[in-house]
Amino acid sequence: MSKKIFLITGGTNGIGFQAAQEIAKTKKTIIITGKNALKGKNKLNEIRRNTGNEDVHFINGDLSSQIEIKSIAEFVKRKFSNIDVLINNAGAAFFKREESVDGIEKTFAINHLAYFLLTGLLLPVILDSHKPRIVNVASSVHKGMDLNFDDIEMRKTYDGYRAYRQSKLCNILFTYFLSNKLKSKGATVNCLHPGFVNTGLGHNNSGLVKFFFMLSQKLFGKSPQEGAETSIYLAMKKDLEEVTGKYFHKHEPLTSSGQTYNQNTQKRLWNLSEKYTNFSY
Is residue 110 a contact partner of residue 204, using CB atoms and an 8 Å limit?
no
Q: Contact 4/129 with Cβ under 8 angstroms? A: yes
Of the listed 115, 164, 176, 247, which one is catalytic?
Answer: 164
Residues in the chain: 281
Separation of alpha carbons 8 and 33, rounded Å: 7
Angle value at C-alpha 146, between 143 and 148, nearest 5 degrees: 155
Q: How far apart are CA 24 and CA 50, in angstroms?
A: 9
Active-site residue, 161 included: no
Kindly list the catalytic residues. Answer: 164
